[in-house]
Structure 1
Amino acid sequence: MLEITLDFKSEKENPLYLQLASFLKQEMGAGNIPAGEKLPSKRNLAIHLGVSVNTIQAAFNQLVAEGYVRSEQRKGFYVQEVEELIGDSVPSSQTAKKEKNLQYKIDFNSGHVDLQQFPYSVWRKLSVKSLYLDGSELFYNGNPQGEPCLREQIAQYLFQSRGVRCSADQILLGAGTQVLTGLLCMVIGREKTYALESPGFHRTRVALQDQGVDVELIPVEEEGLSVKELASSKAEVVFVTPSHQFPYGMVMPISRRMELLNWAGEQHNYIVEDDYDSEYRYKGKPIPSLHGLDSNGRVIYMGTFSKSLIPSIRISYLVLPSSLLEKYRTNFSLYKQTVSRLHQDTLFRFMSNGHWATHLNKMRTLYRKKQARLLAAIQEDLGECVTIIGEKSGLHIILNVQNGMSENELIASASRNGVKVYPTSVYYGGERERTEPEVLLGFGGLSELEIEEGIRLLKESWGL
């Protein structure tokens, strides 16, 4: 078995997963890890190096995204042919230093939001008020499902905005969707077979794989996940993003939603509806959530505040049907709540006092303007050499670029010009299923001037 030994350095600017990724890239370039070699399992390597499995997973994901490694479902990670990607080898310490010092003028990160528009003064006042009125109570462990007052506000919001009919008792809070995905696997059962969209959100795939469950990848079509392929699989639970498919952005029409609900109802299976980016829609009429259409209790609704507030406020939630709620309370209610009670109480006040609705409406208008500026800049500077995908909603788009460059070449040439764009290949579970050169551009965290500058630099980088 391949032996990997690395002396990690304590550097805030260079996290452990980047140090490991840089080391592995150097070893590949030097020929010490040949093409076709299988990397050690995440758990074994984590134990060997004395780090967490998440650190290993993040490093492997980075290598997959850059094209150094491919992931094969249920088999592991294998080294790709990398000579053309890295050129002459340099000492790993120099590689890490170079990556640490690399700064981008423009970062089209899809996970970024406009932090300048967050109502810091309001949030600060409400946090202080929570501490003043509730005092030391907030420093004790609270309700395992989350504070009832916040869950009541979320239930009201979901009914008004997404047609989700639920009580506060059905809502379960957690510090991020990955945490909730892991808990959901335990509630539903690890013996079940789970299905994911392909392409789809890679962090959900990682969370499921870390639970040790069987995962099947179901292809995505123009109208979303293929229900025909799903029905022919062994899946008993499926994760879908029907309102804004990640990463390609298509909206699942009502006919396909009904097909999916029939699959779940007839087979007594479950659908996990990840309502990703549903707050930001720019074209078309709103379609009810799957949960709002479900009459058989087979849909588990999942939502988060990471895009509508700020990412560091780790508050996500599940809406459990009664059958799973009973199972959760019987077997898993001893698990402590993972969200800070102070953040929960502050968000409750933020929502109940009307600040949430005001902020959300403001951000919808702001992101609509940013997206319009992005699309105009692309049309003006990049012209007919690119195709825009997924512009109906959300905080990112995908560009299909036809200039003869591969995905890796597009990313590398943009990077040399100070612009960071992102691969779509990482969202496929195995080897990339499409050959078109595509990159992902997020715009939420950029100003309109930065968006225009970024597109201008991409035009120079790609020779368009």
Structure 2
Amino acid sequence: MNPGWPFPCARSLPKRRRLRAEIARYLRQARGVACTPDEIVIAAGTQLLIQQLCCLFGLDGRAVAIEEPGYNGVRIVFQHLGFAVTPIPLEEDGIDVEALEASGARLVYITPSHQEPSGMVMPYAKRIRLLQWVARTGVYIVEDDYDGEFRYRGKPIPSLQGLDTEGRGVYLGTFSKSLLPSIRISYMVLPPALMDVWRERMSPYDQSASRIHQETLALFMKSGEWERHIRKMRTVYRKKHQAMLNALHAVMGGHIRIMGQDAGLSVTVEVYSDKTAEELTAAAASAGIRVYPTAPKWFRPPQNRLPAFQFGFGGLSVEEMDAGLRLLYEVWKPYMHSCI
């Protein structure tokens, strides 16, 4: 451990703080997140963390801005809790900051490191511009870094939370993508002002994440196995990512447009077809193939947009990818046309 490290040795910590100490140490090193263990909240999934966050702001119908399209699992939580959801369109490099400024929202939820579902990575310049707006207005920004460990092109970009100098950033992370979905452990880093409110309102609530899993994960991280695991999986997924791109180009070629090629565990594919996403999904299902359209990620689905799908590769072998895409192409071939 570095002599100047600000956190006490995990061995001397109470069990309930060990995992938070390891997460804080990892986030500072890997994502540039500035936090102490006492600013971290752990729960069994991102949706539960969003629920807690909503309770901090009050369930009074306030406006929350989200990306359009964006992660519908979080959007549904905001809607169920009575928040007024304001969809903000995307540009080629991320959320439209001018539209965001005009929305009047005081809370923003975004996925800047791998936009869900388009896959774009928000560049450093736009992150600074976004934080300048936050500094002027005092808005809170919720950054969901759900698979930030896996970036395949370009240099890593610091988290928004690490770049924020005003204490207005909330950082969300999860072990579901990088380790095991079934472990059900996600975490939230709160700025000091919100952490004070959380202690007042939420500390009486029972812990939702398994304490056994938390202790096991803390030991896994402290031993160094976590970082070795991440390095190994980053190499594995980089190869699978490239294999997916190669197979898509080889099999479907000019019939598709690929987005989100820099990070994450999926790529988004627009299909040049006059059929709707629902019709193509049904055609694939008739051949025993399950595909995942991006249509549910839209708050207000646009008319006449190309059908789009997310193709995941994390749990597939290269051979399974190739065989699956070739079968899918045979099913969709009658409905596809060239982009030229």
TM-score normalised according to structure 2 size: 0.91
Partner of 2:329: 459
Tell me if 1:399 matches 2:265. Answer: no
Partner of 1:295: 165
Q: Higher RCO, 1 or 2 (CA under 8 Å, sep at least 6)?
A: 1
C-alpha separation in 2, matches of 1:403 and 1:430: 21
C-alpha separation in 1, matches of 2:309 and 2:213: 35
1:181 to 50, 64, 74: 50
Partner of 1:85: none
C-alpha separation in 1, matches of 2:156 and 2:82: 37
SS at match of 2:182: coil
After superposition, residues 77-92 of structure 1 pair within 5 angstroms as: none
Partner of 1:317: 187
C-alpha separation in 1, matches of 2:202 and 2:252: 53
Whether the aligned pair in 2 keeps the contact of 1:411 and 1:439 (CA below 8 Å) is: no
Whether the aligned pair in 2 keeps the contact of 1:236 and 1:269 (CA below 8 Å) is: yes
SS at match of 1:169: helix
Tell me if 1:334 matches 2:207. Answer: no
CA shift at 1:433, angstroms? Answer: 5.6
Whether the aligned pair in 1 keeps the contact of 2:43 and 2:49 (CA below 8 Å) is: yes
Partner of 1:446: 316
**Deviation digits for residues 427-456 of structure 1, max 9, x if unmatched?**
001233661121221111111111011111
Whether the aligned pair in 1 keeps the contact of 2:43 and 2:186 (CA below 8 Å) is: yes
Tell me if 1:252 matches 2:140. Answer: no
C-alpha separation in 2, matches of 1:351 and 1:361: 13
Whether the aligned pair in 2 keeps the contact of 1:170 and 1:322 (CA below 8 Å) is: yes
C-alpha separation in 1, matches of 2:51 and 2:279: 36
**Deviation digits for residues 1-42 of structure 1, max 9, x if unmatched?**
xxxxxxxxxxxxxxxxxxxxxxxxxxxxxxxxxxxxxxxxxx
CA shift at 1:147, angstroms? Answer: 2.0
**Deviation digits for residues 217-239 of structure 1, max 9, x if unmatched?**
11111111111111111200000
Tell me if 1:212 matches 2:77. Answer: no
Partner of 1:149: 18
Partner of 2:294: 424
SS at match of 2:171: strand
C-alpha separation in 2, matches of 1:222 and 1:433: 20
CA shift at 1:355, angstroms? Answer: 1.2
CA shift at 1:462, angstroms? Answer: 1.2
Whether the aligned pair in 2 keeps the contact of 1:425 and 1:432 (CA below 8 Å) is: no
1:269 to 134, 139, 151: 139
1:415 to 285, 307, 314: 285
CA shift at 1:160, angstroms? Answer: 0.5
**Residue range with higher mean Cα deviation, 404-413 or 355-364:** 404-413
C-alpha separation in 2, matches of 1:260 and 1:322: 21
SS at match of 1:361: helix
Instruction: Give the partner amino acid of 1:169.
Output: D
Whether the aligned pair in 1 keeps the contact of 2:119 and 2:263 (CA below 8 Å) is: yes
Whether the aligned pair in 2 keeps the contact of 1:177 and 1:317 (CA below 8 Å) is: yes
Q: Which has the larger radius of gyration?
A: 1
Whether the aligned pair in 2 keeps the contact of 1:261 and 1:294 (CA below 8 Å) is: yes
CA shift at 1:331, angstroms? Answer: 2.1
After superposition, residues 110-189 of structure 1 pair within 5 angstroms as: 147-189=16-58
Instruction: Give the partner amino acid of 1:402.
Output: Y
Unaligned regions of 5+ residues in structure 2, if any?
Answer: 1-13
C-alpha separation in 2, matches of 1:377 and 1:331: 51
Partner of 2:113: 243
C-alpha separation in 2, matches of 1:275 and 1:252: 12
Partner of 1:359: 229
C-alpha separation in 2, matches of 1:247 and 1:412: 21
Whether the aligned pair in 2 keeps the contact of 1:414 and 1:457 (CA below 8 Å) is: no
Whether the aligned pair in 1 keeps the contact of 2:273 and 2:306 (CA below 8 Å) is: no
CA shift at 1:400, angstroms? Answer: 1.2
Tell me if 1:376 matches 2:239. Answer: no
Whether the aligned pair in 2 keeps the contact of 1:197 and 1:220 (CA below 8 Å) is: yes
Partner of 1:110: none
SS at match of 1:312: helix
C-alpha separation in 2, matches of 1:156 and 1:387: 39
Instruction: Give the partner amino acid of 1:377.
Output: A
TM-score normalised according to structure 1 size: 0.67
C-alpha separation in 1, matches of 2:228 and 2:125: 33
C-alpha separation in 2, matches of 1:206 and 1:176: 14
Q: Could you tell me the percent identity over the aligned residues?
A: 47
Alpha-carbon distance change, 434 to 347 in structure 1, aligned in 2, over 3 angstroms: farther
**Deviation digits for residues 190-240 of structure 1, max 9, x if unmatched?**
233211111000000011111111211111111111111111112000001
SS at match of 1:420: coil
